Structure 1
Amino acid sequence: MGATMRWKELALGLTSAVSMAPVALAQQSDWSYEASIYLFMPETETSLSTPMGTLDGTLSFSDALDNLDFAFMGAFSATNGRWSLLADYNYTDLSFSSDTPGPASSGLDTSFTTQYLSGYVGYRVYDDQAANVDIVGGFRWFSTETEFELQPGAAPGRRTTVDSSWTDPVIGARARIAFSDKWSGTGFVDYGGFRSGSETWQVLLTADYAINERWLIRGGYRYISFDHDIDGNDFKFDQSGPLLGATYRF
């Protein structure tokens, strides 16, 4: 059995573990839940390295709102004792133009519809009144429809399209620290891929303010990265920037 098939089976196994965890914990009744929605206006970098050269589109944070067609970022968690289920989803529809070096092209137009979903099973390895730490394992699914269009210059223009999706296994950790009755901080880091030609990782840091027992406001920073081989071409996608969100606990 090839390495690619083994990793596909592992990713499917992790996905099954996430979906079956509620069944395994069904006899426990003390579930608590959190649902969050975020405004995430990141700097976005996407590139495709081909035998004909590298196409590299970059959208700065300051231009994100002007070029954004639609975006959504949400997260959900369910906790019971030391066990937890976590998920987050991001959808971005963007189109923008970038300068290109040299006279060969007069610019690069980039447009993409990208979405990614992460799901985890977590287990709390440390817990006291001031802090807690969870170890997590799961998957990240990524899908993109990206179009690069080089505008003509000294050389003719050309268009390249990427339409692909894949799933990577991921492992990570989440930590929460209480600074006061109202203020706390959350840190989340993960890494995945574990195979030649596919890698993903992210870092998420937030400062959290509890308005009351139900509602929190979160502000922070997120960096998420994807690097994947598509038909022998190296596709990269990175988003980084500030975020602002609200969480409802029930």
Structure 2
Amino acid sequence: MYKSCCFILGFFLSSVQTHAESIQSSFAGESKVFLNIYGFAADIDGGIGYHGLNYQLDQPFKDTLDALDQALMGHLEINKGKWGIFSDIQYVKTEEKKQVYSFPVVLSTKVNLSNFGVYYRAYEQFPNGQGFVIEPTLGMNYTDLKGVLGALGRQVSVEEDWYEYFGGVRLRYNDDSPWNIAAQYTYGTEQTQIAQAYLGYRQKIYTAPVNFRVGYRYVSQDYKKDSFKWDTVQQGPVIGIGVGF
């Protein structure tokens, strides 16, 4: 009995050590930092509702651009071995310049959709993340909305924010060619869906690797709480430039 217990304990400790070494080896390699600044030319459709005042959104990007007050869009990523963390922010503030009293209008809006996540390189066609790569992701979205709805001289201030967990997957393909492809899909616990796909062209400027990207982004949200609803779809082309450190 004593020998059996010793054997089982030894096997358990050996297994733990093997797994610990495997996890440790997955972090092997130097740390890398990537920063991408992008512009999202989104058309917005859907509806906003608050305390009985509803507004149907059907706003092409041109109208958003005309009313644009502030915007910040960027993606930061830190990678070591097969692991990485990332954060993305999409902040847009608009100020409506016209007054329409016969139907509800959005006079001003601020939309902040940010996220933070972690990914793991579960599959790579070739070593060091070359070829076709699959990376599952987990993280959290944060949405912060502020706006003023107006109709017939009546104005209602809207302010809501919420967190939600998300899961998803990233797909990449790159080789020795400067051309590369990337796509990502995430689904949140509050029904936020984000899908995006990009074609990139990579080259060095001085000593820094720079990646120019064009693609398409789709963001769908359907959030309801008490008398508030935010049921919108944002979609359109994306253009960005990324640099590695």
Tell me the amino acid that sits aligned with residue 242 of structure 1. P
Comparing 236-245 and 111-120, the one that deviates more: 236-245
Tell me, yes or no, if the aligned pair for 1:222 and 1:241 is still in contact at 8 Å: yes
| CA shift for structure 1 position 90 | 1.2
CA distance in 2, matches of 1:110, 1:46: 17
- Aligned twin of 2:119: 122
Residue 243, structure 1, aligned to residue 232, structure 2 = no
Structure 2 runs not aligned, ≥5 long:
1-23
TM-score, length of structure 1 as denominator length: 0.77
What amino acid sits opposite 1:190 in the alignment? Answer: T
Q: How many residues align?
A: 215
How far apart, CA to CA, are the structure 2 residues paired with 1:135 and 1:106? Answer: 45
Does residue 69 of structure 2 align to residue 74 of structure 1?
Answer: no
Alignment partner, residue 135 of structure 1: 136
How far apart in 2 are the matches of 1:97 and 1:189? 35
Give CA-to-partner distance per residue, 1:63-108, whole Å, 9 cap, x none.
Answer: 23212111110001111111111110111001348999xxx92452
Tell which deviates more after alignment, 89-98 or 117-126. Answer: 89-98
Q: Distance in 1 between matches of 2:52 and 2:73?
A: 35
Q: How does 1:86-235 map to 2 (within 5 A)?
A: 86-96=86-96, 105-106=102-103, 108-128=105-125, 129-150=130-151, 152=152, 157-178=153-174, 181-193=177-189, 198-212=190-204, 214-235=209-230
Shift in Å at residue 232 of structure 1?
3.5
Q: 1:53 to 1:143 in 2, by over 3 A?
A: closer
Larger Rg: 2
Q: Give % identity.
A: 23
1:114-144 CA-partner distances (Å, limit 9, x unpaired): 1121111111111023210100001001101
2:146 counterpart letter in structure 1: E
- Structure 1 SS opposite 2:63: helix
Considering only aligned residues, what root-mean-square deviation do their CA atoms show, in Å?
Answer: 2.7
Separation of aligned partners in 1, 2:32 and 2:50: 48
Does the 8 A contact of 2:166 with 2:188 survive in 1? yes
